[in-house]
């Protein structure tokens, strides 16, 4: 009789998920660092939800399937109360080597009555060993806000300078070969843009600039 009751509760909870469109138990998976480096502690944030309460985190298992794939299994004890439960939590992956990683996040309830999976990709970059960029103050970009042009100074030759829009699309680029450069930005719309300075595809400086005409 008890076993039949447990099965009925599970079926009712599943029906509630289907009825309200809440079959998905992971609502958001993200890495708060836009461009983590090998010196950063990488954390994965997630928003979870179950159709019954209480839901209490039970255990976490982190495994590496290979050098570029990390699998996270998180288990929750889920009760049989009629009202749903949800919350926000995070997983600390520590410092990672320079690489592009696929993070597979698996969410389970005890007994695997409910489960969900999601995947994100993050890129971890090296820290440049260039001795001539010892301080952020060595690099200047002005005026900020800018109108029709910007002046870039304090960078050594051989680096690459990029401007990206808020959607990550490359808008402008140049190779640094003098201590001071002027870049024409008349074709860029008003808004906030991301500045990246790279040494052989590795980000060494990152900043933002506002274009306001």
Compute the distance between CA of residue 80 and CA of residue 95 in angstroms, rounded to an integer.
38
- Tokens 């995070």 locate to 90
Q: What's the CATH architecture for 136-211?
A: Sandwich (2.60)
pTM given for the model: 0.53
Per-residue pLDDT of the chain (213 residues; tens, 9 = 90+): 544 544 444 444 444 444 333 457 898 899 988 778 888 899 999 999 998 889 999 999 998 867 789 999 999 999 888 888 999 999 999 999 888 899 999 999 887 778 899 999 988 877 654 444 444 457 888 999 999 999 999 888 888 999 999 888 899 999 988 878 999 999 999 999 989 888 877 777 888 899 998
- What does DSSP say about strands 115-124 and 99-109: parallel, antiparallel, or unpaired? antiparallel
Q: Are 165 and 196 in contact (CB under 8 A)?
A: no
Cβ(11)–Cβ(37) under 8 Å? no
Q: Cβ distance 47 to 22 under 8 Å?
A: no
CB 99 within 8 A of CB 170: no
**What pLDDT score was predicted for residue 107?**
93
Tokens in use for 77?
A: 């004890």
Q: What are phi and psi of 155, to 5 degrees?
A: -110, 140
């Amino acid at each position: 009789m008890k076993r039949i009751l447990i099965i009925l509760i599970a079926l009712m909870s599943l029906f509630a998920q289907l009825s309200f469109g809440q079959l998905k138990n992971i609502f958001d998976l993200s890495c708060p660092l836009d461009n983590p480096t090998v010196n950063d502690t990488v954390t994965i944030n997630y928003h979870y939800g179950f159709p019954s309460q209480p839901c209490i985190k039970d255990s976490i298992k982190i495994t590496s399937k290979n050098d570029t794939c990390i699998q996270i299994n998180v288990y929750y004890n889920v009760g049989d109360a009629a009202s749903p439960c949800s919350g926000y939590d995070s997983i600390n992956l520590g410092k990672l080597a320079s690489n592009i990683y696929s993070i597979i996040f698996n969410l389970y309830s005890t007994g695997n009555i409910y489960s969900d999976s999601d995947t994100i990709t993050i890129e971890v970059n090296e820290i440049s060993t260039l001795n001539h960029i010892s301080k952020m103050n060595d690099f200047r970009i002005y005026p900020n806000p800018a109108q029709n042009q910007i002046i870039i100074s304090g960078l050594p030759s051989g680096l690459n300078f990029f401007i990206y829009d808020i959607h990550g699309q490359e808008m402008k680029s140049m190779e640094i070969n003098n201590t001071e450069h002027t870049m024409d930005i008349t074709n860029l719309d008003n808004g906030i843009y991301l500045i990246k300075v790279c040494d052989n595809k590795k980000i060494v400086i990152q900043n933002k600039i506002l274009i306001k005409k």
